[in-house]
Each structure stands twice: as C-alpha cells, then as structure tokens.
Amino acid sequence: MFHGLRNVGLALAIALGGLLPAGAEDLTIEGLGTIPFGREITVTDGGHTAINKFFIEGSHQKGYGKSSGAAVWAILTVPPGMNLHPEKPPYPYDSLHIYQLKKSKVSGLYTASVFVIRGTEEDFFHEGRKRDAAFWKNAFREDAERPTSLFGLPKIQLSEFQGFVDHVMEEKGGKGHVRIQSFAPWRAFKGDDGTYHWAQEVRVVMTNEKGLSFPMWIYSALFKEGDTYFLILTTGSHATAEELENTLLYGYYSLKRSDRR
C-alpha cells in the first residue's frame, strides 16, 4: 500500500553515505537560487544516487497515478490543480533531485529528505487544467489577488481534511490509514526580497495494511522563477520537524534568487 509513501519512508531510512556535501551548509537549486540553512545543518546532494533514480522510475509505473497512494500523496504535498502523475509525458518527476538535511545534537541525529521537482506550466498542467494554471501563473505577483479560500483548502477544518483523505482512500480501494495530526493549508508568504512563495505543512501518522505505523512531517513549498515552477517537498519525522522547521522557514524567507543581487 502507498507505493509513493513507502518510497518516502525508504528514502528516510536509507543512510546516504558516501555522498558529496552541497557546500557552505546552504542548498543551491539551479535556476532558483540558494536557501541558507546555517552551520548547524549539513546538506548532502543525493541527485545522482540510486535512490534518486528509484523514485523517478517508480513514478513511471503504469496506473500508479490512479492509485490511492498517489491520490493521498497529492493531497498531502501538491498545490491544488497540479498533477505530478499524468498519464502521458511530460512527467514532472523526471526532473526530481533529492537532497538530505542533517542536524546532529547531543539528543540525537535528525535528518530530512528534500525533493525538488521543477517544470513549466506545460509540465504541471498539460492535461486540461487551464483554470488552475491561470491561477498559479499570477499567484506570485506582488499585486496578485490572494483568496482566503484556495479551492476550499485554507478554510477547511482538520476533521474535514481527515474526512477528505479517508474518502479518497476508500474510493480508490486503499489499505491502511493516514491520520492527520496537524494541518496548515496552502497560503502565500512574502520573502525578504519581496517575492512570494506558497507553502503547506502537515503532520501525519501512516499505518499500513499490516498495522505498522510511522509518523511523518511534510512541508511543501512552491516557488516560481520566470516561467519555471519549483516544488520543494521536505519530509521527516515529527521529532525532525521540531528541530528543523524554523531553520527551513527562515531559509525560504531568506532565499537568494539566482538572478538577483
């Protein structure tokens, strides 16, 4: 169950030993800019590893986009209207680049996986999603209208969101359960340089068909530079969230765009 969710759990469990640090404890994303994390965080580049390839190949499995795992993962991570698992190319996941964040303290080692997916409007909206594409195309402007209810999500209650996830699982015949513990829906944030990005945060406990459970923190951020969107998904345990969340938010606010001084 949850092919995509299982993959994320696998990525978190695999030690990315032998990889090259990205340098300067910052995360530089080609075409977007540099996200500063400070000296407490180590950034490791996993873009050319077997696990990165594993995720891309997994996204090509026939029928996966219609599965309960793909549907629930989209609800938890993807901006409304975007489609990461279309039936035909271009496939957004082909651009996937994985990184790992690591923070070491006396209390333990905290790690998070960062998944960067990039693409144009054609990549994310090429299956007839013109209304959604039109919204996101203008959502990053200073003078853009910022609705209080983006496709119903910002005003939704936690119980309603849980019911939505349960309904999708039942409708698609999914096994197991996803329990939503906290949920902050998609909303716009203004960075230090005056540009906007959008973000959503959710904490869940996932239980598979065998009754095995594990907690997961998921922070999704959407940036736009020129005609290119950058969807950045950060996943880790609830304990990792407590250690890395503020650093992540500060990094996004302080993003140094590639084309700006």
In whole angstroms, give the CA distance from residue 106 to residue 132. Answer: 46
| Side-chain half-sphere CA neighbours of 186 within 13 A | 26
- Predicted confidence (pLDDT) per residue in 5-57, tens digit: 444 544 444 444 444 444 447 999 999 999 999 888 999 998 888 888 888 88
Q: What is the mean pLDDT of residues 146-167?
A: 74
pLDDT score recorded for residue 101: 94
Better pLDDT: 80 or 201: 201
CA neighbor of 8 nearest in space, from 66, 62, 72: 72
Q: What's the pLDDT score for residue 57? A: 81
Residue among 228, 232, 233 nearest 121 (CA):
228
pLDDT for the residue 155: 66
Q: Tell me phi and psi for residue 256, to 5 degrees.
A: -100, 105
Q: How far apart are CA 46 and CA 197, in angstroms?
A: 24
Determine the pLDDT at residue 154. 58
Average pLDDT of 106-118?
93
Q: What mean pLDDT is predicted for residues 57-67?
A: 75
Q: Over the chain, what is the mean pLDDT?
A: 84
153: number of CA atoms within 13 Å, CB side? 20
Question: Which of 15-24, 63-72, 79-88, 143-152 has maximum average pLDDT?
Answer: 79-88
DSSP 8-state assignment for residue 191: -
Q: Does residue 148 register a pLDDT over 80? A: no
Residue 161 pLDDT more than 90? no
pTM recorded for the entire structure? 0.87
